[in-house]
Amino acid sequence: MEQFRNFYIEKPFFNRETLKASFNFSLDEKRFFTEEIDFTCDNSEVSNNLDNFDIDVILSHISLAIAISYYKTALCDNIVIKDFSLSLEDELFWKSFYINWLWEYLYSNNLSIKNKFNFIYNSDKILPKINFKTSQKALIPIWWWKDSILSIELFKKAWIDFNTFTFWKDYEMHKIFSSKVGADRLIVHRKMSDELFAMNKEWYYNWHIPITWLIAFVSIFVSYLYWFRYVSLSNEKSADFWNTEYEWIEVNHQWSKSLDFEKQFSSYVERNMSSEYKYFSLLRWFYEARIVKEVCNYKQYFWYFSSCNNNFKIVEKWNTSNKKWCLNCPKCAFVFALFRPYLSDSEVIEIFWWDMYSDPSQENVFRELLGISWIKPFECVWTQEEVIISMFMALDKYDELPFILSIFKKEIVDNHHLDYFKSIESKIFKIYDDDNIPDNIKKITSIYEQ
């Protein structure tokens, strides 16, 4: 594997006729990457107040976020920005961003941050502050997960107009799920550089990093183009909890879904681009187990969502005739555990095709989720307490306990007093206040009583 010292970030380019943006990067100006993002949204009208200067500034900020997908191939010492400089405050933000978001990658590849993440500037021009205007419209990014269901239904109940938003590809499941929502959807397409996949085959550094960070930055430009003020995520309180430690730092697979990222990102946007744009998670005051409990009130979606990453890759493998769950990964096991207390036997089969608790081959996965062995899996799975209370609540579903629940009863239930489970239940199903939700959106919280 060839070593590189400098990672270069070039000036982005935007075509106002096609609404396509291109982002260019290189490793020592020897290996080159070009990513293209198509911001054409057929069912939305572009603002008539677009300004070339504003566009350049916003895309320059976004380029720093996109860069991380290519920077991680070689982990260069220096990050060289060719066209502009960062203020000290913004440089500290990006160093925190790169370190936090690559910490799992560093851990998994056994790499150190020593002498890394050094920002170098070929221009002394500091990006100026702009302040683009918005309307009162709201945008709800969706993937294909259950959390989006609750956000959507909360907006409907509060009579707040919204559009949904998907990024990267228009997956078949996006189309099916969106048809059940009853709101227009904005679709932004991403084409990653072929050179990245070539280097992956050459065994350069690689590791999966969840896409939420990029959705956040791309949503800034979507909001600018189509006049959205609110970008409402469906991230939950559970995302704030880390997986393990590496070099004395907490490693959180879901860092870009955390409240820490949300607040840092919001401050960054307000400081540099817009005081009107608001980025927040409507579900931040819920643990994931509480979200699942509420989602079970909307059974019309049961067949139209998934949370399995194995079945959904950069290269799409899923179609309407195949299963939506691999039923062999921590994500499937976690979601199954959270849903099981609220599902009948027939609903288990309808959604998951079979009962994961009956499969002995899933023992190690559930042990990891319960914290009995190894570390919390590097997946978008949530806290051990949520798994414990969900499995405890599912015990009454069976006359004879299946294999996995038998282990759970022997190693967890039989070693704790009932008060232990009551205290977990009280904590997990409580509603927590969140000051990061804009005031005129907070009325949604009144729909549910604690």
For residue range 247-256, list pLDDT tens digits in order: 656 666 677 7
* 32, 145: one domain: yes
* 247, 148: one domain: yes
Please say which residue of 281, 300, 323 terminates a domain: 281
Would 446 be classed as within a structural domain? no
Would 450 be classed as within a structural domain? no
Chain-centroid distance, C-alpha 75: 23
Are 303 and 350 in contact by the 8 Å Cβ rule? The answer is yes
Are 368 and 377 in contact by the 8 Å Cβ rule? The answer is yes
pLDDT of residue 388: 94
pLDDT of residue 320: 41
pLDDT of residue 314: 44
Neighbouring residues of 197: CB distance < 8 A, sequence distance ≥ 6: none
Would 339 be classed as within a structural domain? yes
pLDDT of residue 194: 96
Would 144 be classed as within a structural domain? yes
Burial class (CB in 10 A: 0-12, 13-18, 19+), 33: buried
* Nearest C-alpha neighbor of 147 from the set 310, 343, 282: 282
Q: 3-class SS at 24?
A: strand
Chain-centroid distance, C-alpha 323: 23
* Nearest C-alpha neighbor of 186 from the set 301, 305, 39, 312: 39
Would 162 be classed as within a structural domain? yes
* 212, 323: one domain: no
* 60, 172: one domain: yes
Rg (CA), the chain: 22
* 165, 301: one domain: no
* 42, 108: one domain: yes
Domains: count for the chain = 2
pLDDT of residue 309: 64
* 166, 233: one domain: yes
Q: Which residue, chain included where needed, has tokens 């021009």?
A: 125
Residue 270 to residue 267: CA distance in whole angstroms:
5
* 253, 292: one domain: no
Would 141 be classed as within a structural domain? yes
Please say which residue of 281, 308, 338 terminates a domain: 281
Would 36 be classed as within a structural domain? yes
Taking every pair of Cα atoms in the chain, the longest distance, rounded to a whole number of angstroms, is: 71
Q: Please give the model's pTM, rounded to 2 decimal places.
A: 0.89
pLDDT of residue 321: 39
* 388, 352: one domain: yes
- For 257, other C-beta atoms within 10 Å of its C-beta total 25
* 395, 421: one domain: yes
* 215, 302: one domain: no
Low-confidence ranges of the chain (pLDDT < 70): 144-145, 208, 210, 240-253, 307, 309-323, 373-382, 445-450
Residue 169 to residue 329: CA distance in whole angstroms:
23
pLDDT of residue 111: 76
* Structure token pair of residue 147: 């959390």
Please say which residue of 255, 281, 307 terminates a domain: 281
* 152, 187: one domain: yes
pLDDT of residue 106: 73
Kind plus residue range of the DSSP H or E element containing 109: helix 88-109
Q: pLDDT per residue over 291-332, tens digit each?
A: 899 999 998 888 777 767 665 554 455 444 356 777 777 888
Would 448 be classed as within a structural domain? no
Q: Residue 72's domain spans which residues? A: 6-281
CATH number at residue 83: 3.40.50
